[in-house]
Chain A
C-alpha cells in the first residue's frame, strides 16, 4: 500500500509565536464532513468583482511614475493535481516602496506615494497564466517594532472548489527577514514555505530602458479535487 503523501501544507490555526492567533484560533475540533460533500462543493461566484484589463499594472494607475523598483510578478495557477486553473480571479495588495499601505487603517508611520495605490486584479488565461507589473514592496516594522515583516504581496484566489479558496502572501527569495517572521514560519513544512517564495528570473528581466522591470516568477497551487481534505491537527 502506498504511503499517503502529506497534502496539507497550511499552518495550524494556533501558532503562539504569532500572538494574534492565541485568542482567535478555534478551540474545538473542526467538524468533519463526508468527503464528497464539502470537498467537491463549488466555490464562490466572484463575477461581481470589477476587473479591467489594465488592473494588472500597478505602476500605471496614476499620472506619475511610482517611487521604487519596478518588478513583474508572473506565473501559473495550478491545482494540486497539476492542472492549470484558467479564468480565475487573482487579487493582490501590498505596500509601496516605503512600506506603507494606502489603506485608511494603516498606522501611517511610512510615507505614501501619490503615484501608487498598491492594489491589482487580473484573471488567469486559458493556461492558468497571470502577469502583474508593480513596485517591489518594502519590509516594514510592526507594532512597536515587535514584528518586522519581510517584503510581501498579499494574494487572494478563488478556484473552482470551496476548498480551493486561498488568501496567502508572496515573499521574495533571499530575504533574511523571512527566517524570523512568525507568520511565514507558521508553515510547518519547509516545502510549503518554498512555495510562497517568488524567484528572480534573470532571463525574463527587461534591460536597457528606464521602464525596465526585474522579473519574478511565482506559481500558485490551489487544492485540486484529488487532494485530501484539511486535517484536524
Chain B
C-alpha cells in the first residue's frame, strides 16, 4: 500500500518567531574543539541575496544539526565541526561534508546540497558523490577559507548555480 504523501509548500517569510531559538545556528558550541563557522550568502537568479527574513537553511550530518536564517545582507552563519570521513554503501569513503537544505519564500520545496571542506583535497577528489557532479561545478560545493571562517555561498539559479541533489 502506498499512501499519498503530503506535498511540500513554501516556508514563507514569517517563520522566524516559531523556528528560531537560542543557539539554533550552533551545531556545536563555538568554543568547543574543532568548531568552525561557515558563512555565506544565499543568492537568487538576479544575483540578489535573500535578505532577512527570506533565507533559511538547515545543516546536518550525523549528530550535528543547526538551523539559521539570513541577516539583512543575505548572509547566514552556522557553527559546526568538520565530520569524520564516513563509509558509504558501496564500501568507499566519503569526504567530510555536511548536508545543507535551503528553504525560502519562493521555494515550494527545499533544495538539498552539500558543503565540503577546502583542506581535504585528496578526500574530495575521491568522494563518490562529488564524482556525480559535473567536473566544472565541483568547486561550488567546497567552502573557501576567508579569514577565520569558511565561506559557502548558495546560488539558487544561473551560471554558477550551486549543484543541488534529487532526494
Contact = CB atoms under 8 A, between A and B. Distances in A.
Interface string B26-65: 0000000000000000001110101011000010101111
A13 B156 CA distance: 11
The 3 closest A-B CB pairs, nearest first, are A20-B106, A93-B18, A119-B18
A49 B20 CA distance: 9
B103 interface: yes
Which of under 10, 10 to 19, 20 to 34, or 35 or more describes the interface residues of B? 35 or more
Interface in B122-167: 129, 132-133, 156-158, 161, 163-167
Given A23-B157, A26-B156, A8 B18 contact: no
Contacts of B9: 11, 154, 167-169, 183-184, 186, 196
B4 A191 contact: yes
B91 interface: no
Which of under 10, 10 to 19, 20 to 34, or 35 or more describes the interface residues of A? 35 or more
A165 interface: yes
Contacts of B44: 23-24
B7 A11 contact: yes
Interface in A6-57: 7-13, 15, 18, 20-28, 30-34, 36-39, 41, 43-46, 48-50
Given A106-B14, A162-B112, A231-B166, A27 B157 contact: yes
Contacts of A154: 9, 11-12, 15, 18
B14 A39 contact: no
A93 B82 CA distance: 33
Nearest to A41: B99
A27 B9 CA distance: 19
Given A45-B63, A223-B5, 19 more contacts: A9-B7, A10-B108, A18-B108, A20-B10, A24-B50, A31-B133, A31-B163, A38-B112, A38-B166, A44-B65, A48-B23, A48-B24, A80-B5, A103-B15, A103-B17, A156-B19, A167-B11, A227-B2, A229-B166
